[in-house]
Structure 1
Amino acid sequence: MIKNNYFLPLFAIPLVASSLVLNIPNAHSQTKNDDSNIQLLAQYAVPIAPLRISFVNGCSSAPIRIAVRFMNLSGQWETRSWYNFQAGRGQTHLEGTDTHNRLFYYYAESTDGSKLTWGGKDTFTAINGKNYGMRKVETSSPGDRTYTQTLNCPEHDKLAQNKQPQPQNQFDQPETGTLTNSLQQRVGGGYTRANVNLYRNGSLMIHGENISTKRTQGVRGTVNVVGVDRKGNALFVSEPFDIKTACGTWDKCPYHTLDFKEIKINPEIAQYVHKLDIYITERNGRTISEQFKRTISKSCSTYNNLPSPVRSAIGIQTGFSGCR
């Protein structure tokens, strides 16, 4: 029996056959010539390349280490450990594990404390005094020269992705275009109407009307405007705008008054205002203004969706230095 893994090229078969005939004159001399026949076959045989074992760490969220039990090129079973793979590492040949055998065994485990394991009960081997259950792998064909085993952990990858912290310093994008809003509300003996426009250069335009519908009761409407960002945070509150008083319809003064006011907002703030809220009161604008200033001063330091220069500008506009 030929003990080594060899095959004969076709051109050598006639030569070997004729040599065997010359060296084996009868059946009784065959045993004596075994050694010379093996030597002759080995002279013309071509060695078969060994199987190369490779692994892929398909687990993108955890590093792993691998132990392999295989039959070495000397025909002895051998265990080698540990081969360390970083998370997501691609196909890598395990040095020193080449084999002529179709079977090998492996055990793998994560090294980041996540307690992931890849193994089985096909065989057990001791490594540093600890037994590990290993999984058997059988290559598909005796002619395979490479075999790659991929280790995956889809559930762990999904869990790790969900636990990833949200990106920091992801600020809102500046707004574009002019903002407009309008409101009409009953006040006193009639109603007050306000139309507002905010330009991105910080110019806030307020157009107000007081219109009386009562004979002897006037209208004294006041307008406040609050700028709000995409998350509903108040960025500024305007100073109260007292529209000219409209008298009752039987009075000698006008019962319909028009008024206009421009208020400057810091352009840094105006770039991030998403909408304008209008508040109409009967000469109670000072209370509205102070109320929103207190609200802004208490919460502006948590406006993490806005860059630091914008938060600083909000503090200056509000008269509070703790918004940075």
Structure 2
Amino acid sequence: MTIRPITGREELDLFNELPYLLNDELADDLVQGRRRPEWMWIALQGDRLLARTAWWSRPGVGSPLILDLLDIDDGLPEPDRVDVGVRLLETATAATVPEGSPRPEYSRMVPPRWRDSTATRRPVQDRMAVLERTGARLFVERLRLEWQPRNPAPADRGRLRFRPPLDTDELLALMTRVLEGTLDAHSRDELTRASPREAAVKQYEEELARYRTPRDWWRIATLPDGEPVGFVIPAHNGYNPIIAYIAVLPEQRGNGYVDDVLAEGTRVLAGQDVPRIRASTDRANVPMARAFARAGYATFGGEINMTWS
């Protein structure tokens, strides 16, 4: 078995011989700098592609941020599938992730009810088994959600007022406050290492500030007297229009304001004549999942996140 990175874009067809829903994005990712050939590894037996793995990053970032591709030839015998995946992943990781750096989180897109049949369950479990053999554990499972223009945009009930943030400091102050009692697994994990303010600044700088869409799409929600209730960040992540962040302040929770805030974010993007709006939330964050469902967002898939402790 030969394990190596691809030589360049000329080997993308070989890399894509194993099917996965991200395949159509890989060529553009290479052009945009979200991927590099040296981050895209394959395991070959002669001309047969046995397995592949790859990392993703933001353009201009010099190291991989997410391990989001790990595929195995599902026609291999059962013991070999996981063994081949482990050998590939360990070899590729040693060459790709800088020594002493934490391994990037693993992300796998899965069907919405992937546990319901052997055909969808076994591939997911095989890939999770590869990760587990290398020391990873399940961190969180998320829902992938989508609103489509055939659904009417949620109406404004008139309970709240909406405006763009006054400045970055106002948004950071609200981002800090909403971390109290958060149900989001990534935020809760970040709070074990950082203060709420530090966590908010990191998320702003590493995610929100990088979106190239207009910041006047962003909305602060207030009561009629101007008191803040929460905020929503509509954006485009380079692949789809998204609800990047939505939150209600702790003291305002339980009043149903999340419906109003989400409706405003949806209206902002719908007003741009977008083909769809994507969002995601932790499967365990039942209140948020229900809010998306009430707003007309359908669950079209899921996501498995695994980490190395």
* TM-score bucket of the superposed structures, by smaller chain: under 0.3
Higher strand proportion (structure 1 or 2): 1
Higher helix proportion (structure 1 or 2): 2
Which one scores higher on RCO, CA 8 angstroms, separation ≥ 6? 2
Q: TM-score, normalised by structure 1?
A: 0.18
